[in-house]
Structure 1
Amino acid sequence: MDINYLIDITIPMLEGARATILLFIIAIIVSIPLGFGLTLMVKSAIKPLVWLANAFIYVMRGTPLLLQLVFFVYGLPILPVIGEYLVLDRFVAASLAFALNYAAYFAEIFRGGLLAIDKGQYEASQVLGLSRWQTTTRIILPQMFRVALPSVSNESITLVKDTALLYAVAVPEILHFALTAVNRDFKLLPFFVAGVIYLLMTLVLTLLFKYLERKFKFE
């Protein structure tokens, strides 16, 4: 194996990994709070909010992420009347698509976490004289997040792998540089290097969530 060649193809892919990591961070920071907000809307007593949240979740989970990505990057600018005001940088548009898509999935994860909590927890809180706010913040939410954490972990790892879809909208990332090297040199090594980089990123996430699960006594 030519070490110099390995270094030459790895450096651009590591630069591409910066876009992957940045997109991941943005998507997580935006999608988790937004997903929790959608969960609250679904549980709301205000019917229009419930319908709106359910419709959003249905559309985002029911259509391919790639289609959403292409729409936000190429479709928004050609919308009638308002399209000219929605011309976004490709990376920004892609980040928005990822954040909204994963918010819908996190909303369902959090909803499942709430459903897993026994109704007796609410009754016990009332007996103890806790207010609704105290019950929610001290009793319900900590349990919901503990139940949801393994699913959040799986979804976060999936998000890292899904960032390869940036290639479809011409945003330079790991796969972009790997395919460029393969097409240029007719060698498969760049694919293996890209795979190792993805594995390392998912390994870091796996170890982080394993630590959090142990911290919250999942094991």
Structure 2
Amino acid sequence: MTSIAERPDTKAADFVIVARRHPGRWVAALVVVAILGLLCWSVLTNDRFGWPTVGTYLRDVSIGRGVVITLELTGLCMLVGLTLGTVIAVGRLSPNPVVRGAAFGYVWFFRGTPVLVQLLFWFNLAALYPKLSFGIPGVALNANELITPMMAAVLGLGLNEAAYMSEIVRAGILSVDRGQSEAAGALGLTRIETMRRVILPQAMRVIIPPTGNETIGMLKTTSLVSVLAVPDLLYSAQAIYARTFETIPLLIVASIWYVVVTSILSVGQYYLERHYARGSKNLALTPVAQLRSAFGIDRFATRRTR
């Protein structure tokens, strides 16, 4: 007998297009859902977690103030890190060996020492320089009044972040084809104008994803400022459970708030990446499209008739 594919009068429109089945994905998904369900049931039914206490303090005023301070610290430190990191990245690529060496030394030092040590160092700066003059005659600022715990936190986290951001920005700059800068130079643009108008806008596609990760990491790293008595989210939770001795519920409250804020930042990072990836073939899929693609239901069987 002649098969359908061999029949000369058969057209492509006569065939039924059926999506490929993926039974293994469904089995794996069921296993994962079962494990997560058992874990959630164990956690929710364990009275030792103190869920009523968690619900009570989740909306506590001092916890809310701690969240605000955490967000302020994250924004300030990332602003310092991104601004200074861009300057250092440009310095790393400078043809001047002195500037290039100084930029490398900055990255080497701040990446080589723990951020907690840097926080404690800035907090105790007054022990080394009781009076700060910044080389200006007649100026003598009291370091104890100037270097507050909040200021020490911004300096410690921001300067440390600048070292990491400089490498991210440098990688983004190097990802842009060298012909772009040569073409800009042929048009009469200076090196600074070329960097600002030609190179950096194109490098943003590479810079944005790791910068979003650094922002989320900074949000969690701000918990270290609790050692300086800065009333951030973690310190606010510690202050409450030091009084009530309900350690686990308050740590859960802090964890929930960290997860909520990082989730919001992740959504913002996702759409920011899509914005700078416009025109690219590797445009990120939406969450719904990713889910449909994972389970092989992004296409539906269709039948065409003559």
| Structure 1 and Structure 2 fold alike (TM over 0.5) | yes
Displacement after TM superposition at 1:4 (Å): 9.6
Structure 1 position 99, deviation (Å): 1.1
User: 2-side partners of 1:148 and 1:8: how far apart?
Assistant: 35
1:214 aligns with 2:274: yes
Which amino acid is 2:189 matched to? Answer: S
Q: Is the 8 A contact 1:10 1:193 kept in 2?
A: no
Q: Relative to total residues, which structure has the larger helix share, 1 or 2?
A: 1
1:86–1:80 distance in 2 versus 1, CA, 3 Å: closer
Task: State the AA in 2 paired with 1:196.
Answer: I
Contact 1:178 1:190 in 2 (8 A): yes
Decide which structure has the larger Cα Rg and report it. Answer: 2
What is the match of residue 224 of structure 2? 165
Q: For 1:138 and 1:62, how far apart are their aligned partners in 2?
A: 33
Note closer, same or farther for the CA distance 1:86–1:51 as it changes in structure 2 (3 Å cut): farther
2:96 to 30, 38, 46: 46
Change over 3 Å in CA distance of 1:102–1:124 after alignment to 2:
same
Q: What SS class does the counterpart of residue 172 from structure 1 fall into?
A: coil
| Residues 1:24 and 2:36 are matched in the alignment | no
Identity %: 31
Q: For 1:157 and 1:104, how far apart are their aligned partners in 2?
A: 16
Q: Distance in 1 between matches of 2:169 and 2:54?
A: 48
Uncovered stretches (5+) of structure 1, i.e. residues with no partner: none
Post-superposition offset of 1:140? 1.2
Residue 77, structure 1, aligned to residue 136, structure 2: no
- When normalised by structure 2's length, the TM-score is 0.65
Q: 1:163 & 1:9 partners in 2: Cα distance? A: 21
Offset at 1:139? Answer: 2.7
- Opposite residue 143 of structure 2, the aligned amino acid is L
* CA deviation string 1:146-191 (max 9, x = no partner): 1111010000100000000011111111111222333333331111
* Number of residues of Structure 1 aligned to a counterpart in Structure 2: 217
TM-score after normalising by structure 1: 0.89
- Residue 86 of structure 1 is aligned with which of 143, 150, 160? 143
Q: Which segment drifts farther, 88-97 or 131-140?
A: 131-140
Moved more, 36-45 or 134-143: 134-143
Query: In the alignment, residue 144 of structure 1 is paired with which amino acid?
Result: A
Counterparts of 1:184 and 1:81, CA distance in 2:
35
Q: Which residue of 2 aligns with 1:112?
A: 171
2:196 is equivalent to residue 146 of structure 1: no
Residue identity in the other structure for 2:217: T
In 2, are the aligned partners of 1:9 and 1:178 still within 8 Å (CA)?
A: no
**Residue 10 of structure 1 pairs with residue 60 of structure 2:** yes
Report the 3-state secondary structure (helix = DSSP H, G, I; strand = E; otherwise coil) of the residue aligned with 1:171.
coil
Query: What is the identity, as a one-letter code, of the residue corresponding to 2:112?
Result: G
Cα 1:21/1:8, change in 2 over 3 Å: closer
- In the alignment, which of 96, 103, 107 is matched to residue 155 of structure 2? 96
Assess, with a 3 A threshold, how the Cα gap between structure 1 residues 32 and 123 changes in structure 2: closer, same or farther.
same
Answer with 147-156 or 79-88: which moved more. Answer: 79-88
Q: Which runs of 5+ in 2 are unaligned?
A: 1-50, 133-140, 278-282, 285-306
Hey, what does 1:131 align to over in structure 2?
189
**CA separation of 1:207/1:97 partners in 2, compared to 1, >3 Å: closer, same or farther?**
same
